[in-house]
Amino acid sequence: MESALSELEFLARSENRVAVLQLLATDSWTRGELGEATDASQATLGRILDDFEARSWVRREAEGYVATTTGQLLAEGLADLLDTVETEHKLRDIVPYLPTAVPGFELTQFADATITVPTQTKPTAPLQRVLERMRGAETLRAVSHTLNNRSLAVIADQVTAGRQSFEGVFAEEAIETLAVDEESWAALTELAASDAAQLWIRSDDVPLAATVSDGAVTFLLRDDDGLVQAAVETERSAVREWVTDTVDRYRERATPFSPGSYATD
């Protein structure tokens, strides 16, 4: 373990070492070409290549330098490690609010996610981003522990205007909250009456709030006090399939929404 960590430290101490190894793992490069690609001096490249040859990570050929089989293995592993570290760094502040406890959820799928957080000048930026996605979608699927008035208004407007089809699974608590507000309840019942909308209610906990708007997935993250902390977007097919499967799985233990089941007095 110690020698492995030493080699990793050797690489990590120099961005040029990492860059050169990754380049040589893809093709044969001359020192001049490596210099143009990395902006490293020829003296620096000479030391790097000598060190790599001593470790049998690269070999010299007639047309230049190229990674050996072990060099390629190391470059691939290093790329995976860098991706993991970059993903962790990107998600560090919002990980406590992600649905990591839900079966099948994988943080590694969020390396290229777009994250919108509240700011002093735009405290509602995450919710606004979610609403933008909702407005532009022809098909919208949702699974959520809550349904706020603004989201409901956008969905109801799009569906009743014939611009969107909607399918959602919600926690019963979310519906009970809407039932005490006359305007929200009217919007919900109007939405439910549309042939383009299907709503299911789940009595069990729904530990996430996610929407699939056409090809994109958006998570709206809240803390334990219900305050919005971020919106996380991705178009990765694996995440979209996971959310779609989650909607289907939660729907199996849900019941169709029936306005008459709720007292609105």
The pair phi, psi for residue 207, each rounded to 5°, is -85, 25
The pLDDT value recorded for residue 19 is 95
Q: What is the mean pLDDT of residues 207-219?
A: 94
The pLDDT value recorded for residue 111 is 87
Locate 153 and state its tokens: 């208004």
Q: What is the mean pLDDT of residues 41-64?
A: 94
DSSP 113-180: -EEE---SS-TTHHHHHHHHHHHT-SEEEEEES---HHHHHHHHHHHHTTS-EEEEEEEHHHHHHHHT
Residues 128-164 pLDDT 10s: 999 999 999 999 999 999 999 999 999 999 999 999 9
The pLDDT value recorded for residue 263 is 62
Residues 89-104 pLDDT 10s: 989 999 999 999 898 9
Asked whether the beta carbons of 202 and 171 are under 8 A apart, the reply is yes
Q: What is the mean pLDDT of residues 32-58?
A: 95
The CATH label, of 1.10.150.650, 3.40.718.10, 1.10.10.10, 3.40.50.720, for the domain at 2-87 is 1.10.10.10
H/E element holding 230? strand 228-234
Percent of the residues in the chain that have a pLDDT greater than 70, as a whole number: 98
Residues 182-197 pLDDT 10s: 999 999 999 999 999 9
DSSP class of residue 5? H
Structure confidence at residue 1 as a pLDDT band (50, 70, 90): low
Locate 190 and state its tokens: 């109007």
Geometric angle at alpha carbon 219, from 238 and 154, rounded to 5° = 120
| Fold of the 93-261 domain | Endonuclease; Chain A (3.30.870)
pLDDT at 41 over 90: yes
Q: Where are the domains of the chain?
A: 2-87, 93-261
The pLDDT value recorded for residue 265 is 57
Structure confidence at residue 63 as a pLDDT band (50, 70, 90): confident
